[in-house]
Amino acid sequence: MLTKIRGSRADCAMECAGSLLEIATPYNENTDEARAGTAKHEALACIVRGEEPPIDQIAERHQVDADEISRAVVYGKQAWRELGKWFPSPKAEVRIEGLVTVGTADVLSVIPDNQSHTTGSKSIAILDWKTGWGHAEHDHQLMAYADAARSEFGMPTSGVITAIEVHLQHRETNTRNLTEAELDGFRERAKRQIAKAGKQYAAGGHCNFCPRRNACVARDEYLRASVVALVPAGGEPQALTREVLGSLYDRAKMLKRAIASYESMLDDALEQGPVPIGGGKMLALVAKSQDQILADKALPLLTSSDLTAALSVSKAGIERVVKERVAKGGAAAEMRRVLGALREAGAIEQVDKQTKTVIDAAEAA
């Protein structure tokens, strides 16, 4: 059992004490999104230090899209111009540890209280970058960092610790000016959660960030209940009203991730040979021939026949080919060159695309 709550997992831990139990095989995805988040944070740390981020080098090191990092840098610079005044002595990627929490603050500013005869601070400010599309606020994470900073540097004479999370994709911030009373309350609740590890479980959207997600009975029951909610109950079709659909949103996302994990495991198993599926049947990988149109030879014919609408080129597809054909270390630069040439030729246009995005209820009013 963990004796301290990691700041990055505080929101999960404060919902479910079971997530604090240690496990021999913790779930830790190495996804494109995870690598992109790490790369963006590395670039944003440069901004805080007053340096220009080496975007191409960072992109190559983490094997992510340089343009994606560039966008995060642009948004980060805009946010830092507004928020930097609250961080007169900023340091990036600072590890802090308190009585019940531990973690690494993306940005920390501590101004010592030179008038104090004891160790103390005049002001403390913490900033946490959120680089993904998630829209949820992380108040417990902010309080975890703030309480750890209070343990190390003392409660500032200003009376509050300012903690800010910056959602770069949405150009929004969540600011908390945390008082000593608020942090005392958080510390006591955190102690109770640590004491209840293995005794209190609560499955939900926060399970996506839990290292025990693939070995949790409570989550399995939650997923099973989600499946039941999506099928006819008692022989009568269930009315999937707007309210019911909304209540199932987080569960549906978890089911999708579970199914994706299953498909990946099944693919690995099939690589070793056919898999029995019951009823005397087997599932196997079978090679089948199919037509593949060669783009370079088909393009003149499609153009002359006015069938260019059948053509589809994605940025991801171009990037995949570039990475296959360019020596390691030069893919990002070549991708930027190709995209630059396409833009100059007028081959790229901005289009609006509707995506499912979680917003505050006030925004929808």
List every span in the chain annotated with CATH 3.90.320: 5-195
Query: Does 338 or 307 have the greater pLDDT score?
Result: 338
The answer to pTM > 0.75 is no
Q: What is the pLDDT of residue 244?
A: 72
Query: Does 4 or 247 have the greater pLDDT score?
Result: 4
Domain 5-195 has CATH 3.90.320: yes
Q: What is the pLDDT of residue 233?
A: 56
Q: In this predicted model, what pLDDT tens digit does every residue of 47-83 receive, in sequence order?
A: 999 999 999 999 999 999 899 999 999 999 999 999 9
Task: Compute the distance between CA of residue 315 and CA of residue 296 in angstroms, rounded to an integer.
Answer: 18
- Token pair, residue 250, equals 């987080």
Query: Does 121 or 240 have the greater pLDDT score?
Result: 121
Task: Compute the distance between CA of residue 61 and CA of residue 40 in angstroms, rounded to an integer.
Answer: 12
The pair phi, psi for residue 167, each rounded to 5°, is -90, 95
Q: What is the pLDDT of residue 235?
A: 53
Is residue 28 predicted with pLDDT exceeding 80?
Answer: no
Q: Where are the alpha helices (DSSP H) in the chain?
A: 10-15, 32-48, 55-62, 66-83, 139-153, 180-195, 217-229, 242-247, 249-271, 295-304, 315-325, 331-344, 361-364
Q: In this predicted model, what pLDDT tens digit does every residue of 235-274 receive, in sequence order?
A: 555 566 677 778 778 888 888 888 888 888 888 888 888 8
Query: Does 239 or 177 have the greater pLDDT score?
Result: 177
Q: What is the pLDDT of residue 48?
A: 97
- Token pair, residue 224, equals 């099973």
